[in-house]
């Protein structure tokens, strides 16, 4: 008979007083980190050196649990904070994940300690209730008919896109789940139509689903880099002539490259006409729905079949926290079809009605909704709307600043908080332009004040700025342009 341990390091590792001390130590470091509003980018460490530093912080005791070393923990936390992207700094303008509302980090910490996986109600009661509440709250901006839609959380937009395409494929080809694509024979060749700037996860999903990247129909874009509706029907007709059976059309609400919003209302009309599932990758831009001033950019969202929405982007909570909405809740049950007596109850009840395990890929899933729900419960939508609207205004101001510069060229009028441009002094020719932008981005990163990204626009590299921090001002953007000039002249 096993006896509970009475002493030793196992007891210490779970000691609540030590837990409190560790928490207070980490809290002090994080408070200092958040209070530092200096302009700083990314201190990119040599991977080998960082590996050696990390290994040096590991215990050499393996035969029994090592004694707790407070200094070692302090150094680990310092290393963790120092080597990450400084998302709370005004120098951070490079990616689509954001510095979080600090309270959401506190809630995430609580979730980690109480450890309530949320795919099943009995394991995470409040998270499942909060998920239903937030579905109703956010649907107030989407406009699906109450009582007929559903929402499930997933670990990231890529998984949400894959899940939605699974549901779309299984609706169009019901036998594939059980019998595989061979059941379709050689005549039926499933395909997906997407905007040319769609996120790479959609093409990846096509590969996973056995559709293949060659059957991803790339729809042409207009001058604003949105799907050109006038050319969608001809493109679908051409796909049909090639023997493809398009079953799903994927639009974007805030493309990753430039932040463009496809015309959802017009695309919904095409989808209805052709009997296609319309999925919207709104990982970045769906959050504009909470703003009265910006919601019009997603006109027609109430007519789509599914929507992926990343709260860890423009709702400013820890990653991952993705919301996958279905206009018809019955379709949400079509993505996965399994029986497993150890988790799925054969006798439905008021408790199992809140289970999401049958609708998402994950069996064990973080209670990711809690970070968003607590912020919504404490502050309401205005907190999110105010920050989103500021970031979009700031990006418009940045565009105006660039238009005044003779040595920069703008590539689009920003629709949200992403802007792409090129540094183009008169001594750089067309043949050198693409490589020059990549070099500039890398030099800016190495100099350590700013972190920006790059993207190819019309096949030529460009600099890309994503405004995610409300601490950033136009003064910081002017400093960035000066830093770009210095980097360009340093070659």
Question: Beta 216-219 vs 190-195: how paired, if at all?
Answer: parallel
143: left (phi over 0), alpha (psi -120 to 50) or beta: left
Residue 151 parent element (H or E): strand 150-154
Angle at 282 between CA 277 and CA 288, to 5 degrees: 130
Tokens of 431: 């043949």
Q: Which pLDDT tens digit goes with each residue over 324-360? A: 999 998 888 776 654 444 344 566 766 666 666 667 7
Name the DSSP class of 320.
Answer: P
CB atoms within 10 A of CB 168: 26
CATH 3.90.1150.10 in the chain is located at 382-489
Name the DSSP class of 239.
Answer: H
Query: Virtual CA dihedral for 335, 340, 343, 349, nearest 10 degrees?
Result: 80
Q: What is the DSSP string of 83-150?
A: TS--TTSTTB-S-S--PPPHHHHHHHHHHHHH----SSTTT-HHHHHHHHHHHHHHHHHH-PPTTT-E
Question: Which residues, other chains included, contact 480 with Cβ-Cβ below 8 Å and sequence gap of 6+?
Answer: 93, 444, 450, 452, 465
Question: Which residues, other chains included, contact 151 with Cβ-Cβ below 8 Å and sequence gap of 6+?
Answer: 131, 134, 135, 138, 139, 323, 324, 325, 326
How far is it, in rounded angstroms, from Cα 279 to Cα 281?
7
Q: Which pLDDT tens digit goes with each residue over 173-185? A: 887 877 777 677 6
Q: Which pLDDT tens digit goes with each residue over 235-290? A: 999 999 999 999 999 999 999 999 999 999 999 999 999 999 999 999 999 999 99
Helix (H, G, I), strand (E, B) or coil at 58: coil
Class level of CATH domain 113-379: alpha beta
pLDDT for 408 beyond 70: yes
Q: What's the fold here for domain 382-489?
A: 3.90.1150
Q: Which pLDDT tens digit goes with each residue over 445-488? A: 999 999 999 999 999 999 999 999 999 999 999 999 999 999 99
Q: Which pLDDT tens digit goes with each residue over 373-387? A: 999 999 999 999 999
Q: How many CA atoms lie within 13 A of 470 on its CB side?
A: 13
Q: Which pLDDT tens digit goes with each residue over 40-85? A: 988 888 999 999 999 999 999 888 888 899 999 999 999 999 998 9
CATH 3.40.640.10 in the chain is located at 113-379
pLDDT for 5 beyond 60: no
Kindly list the distances between the CA atom of residue 443 and the CA atoms of 42, 422, 425, 470, in Å, as whole numbers in the listed order: 11, 15, 16, 25
């Amino acid at each position: 008979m096993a006896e509970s341990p009475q002493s030793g390091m196992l007891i210490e590792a779970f000691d609540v007083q030590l837990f409190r001390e560790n928490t207070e130590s980490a809290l002090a470091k994080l408070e200092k980190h958040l209070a530092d509003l200096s302009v700083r980018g990314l201190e990119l460490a040599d991977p080998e050196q960082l590996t050696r530093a990390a290994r040096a912080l590991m215990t050499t005791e393996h035969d029994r649990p090592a004694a707790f070393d407070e200094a070692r923990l302090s150094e680990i936390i310092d290393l963790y904070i120092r080597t990450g992207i400084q998302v709370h700094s005004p120098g951070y303008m490079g990616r689509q994940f954001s510095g979080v509302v600090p309270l959401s980090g506190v809630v995430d910490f609580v979730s980690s300690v109480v450890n309530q996986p949320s795919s099943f109600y009995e394991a995470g009661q409040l998270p499942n209730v909060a998920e239903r509440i937030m579905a109703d709250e956010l649907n107030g901006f989407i406009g699906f008919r109450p009582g007929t839609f559903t929402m499930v959380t997933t670990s990231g937009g890529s998984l949400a896109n894959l899940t939605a395409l699974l549901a779309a494929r299984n609706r169009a080809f019901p036998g594939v789940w059980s019998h595989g694509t061979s059941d379709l024979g050689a005549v039926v060749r499933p395909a997906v139509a997407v905007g040319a700037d769609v996120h790479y996860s959609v093409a990846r999903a096509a590969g996973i689903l056995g559709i293949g990247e060659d059957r991803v129909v790339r729809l042409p874009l207009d001058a604003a880099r949105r799907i050109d509706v006038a050319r969608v029907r001809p493109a679908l007709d051409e796909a049909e002539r090639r023997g493809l059976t398009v079953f799903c059309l994927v639009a974007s609400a805030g493309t990753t490259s430039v932040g463009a919003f496809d015309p959802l209302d017009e695309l919904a009309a095409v989808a209805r006409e052709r009997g296609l599932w319309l999925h919207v990758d709104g990982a970045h831009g769906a959050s504009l729905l909470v703003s009265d001033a910006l919601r019009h950019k997603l006109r027609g969202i109430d007519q789509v079949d599914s929507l992926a929405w990343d709260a860890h982007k423009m709702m400013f909570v820890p990653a991952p926290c993705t919301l996958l909405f279905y206009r018809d809740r019955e379709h949400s049950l079509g993505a996965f079809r399994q029986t497993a007596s150890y988790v799925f109850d054969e006798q439905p009840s008021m408790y199992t009605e809140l289970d999401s395990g049958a609708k998402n890929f994950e069996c064990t899933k973080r209670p990711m909704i809690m970070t968003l729900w607590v912020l919504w419960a404490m502050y309401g939508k205005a907190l999110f709307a105010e920050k989103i609207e500021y970031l979009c205004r700031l990006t418009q101001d940045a565009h105006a600043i660039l238009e005044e510069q003779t040595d920069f060229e703008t590539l689009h009028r920003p629709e949200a908080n992403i802007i792409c441009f090129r540094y183009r002094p008169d001594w750089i020719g067309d043949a050198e332009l693409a490589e020059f932008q990549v070099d500039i981005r890398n030099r800016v990163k190495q100099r350590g004040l700013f972190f920006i990204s790059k993207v190819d626009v019309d096949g030529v590299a460009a600099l890309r700025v994503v405004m995610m921090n409300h601490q950033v001002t136009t003064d910081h953007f002017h400093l960035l342009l000066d830093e770009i000039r210095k980097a360009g002249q340093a070659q």
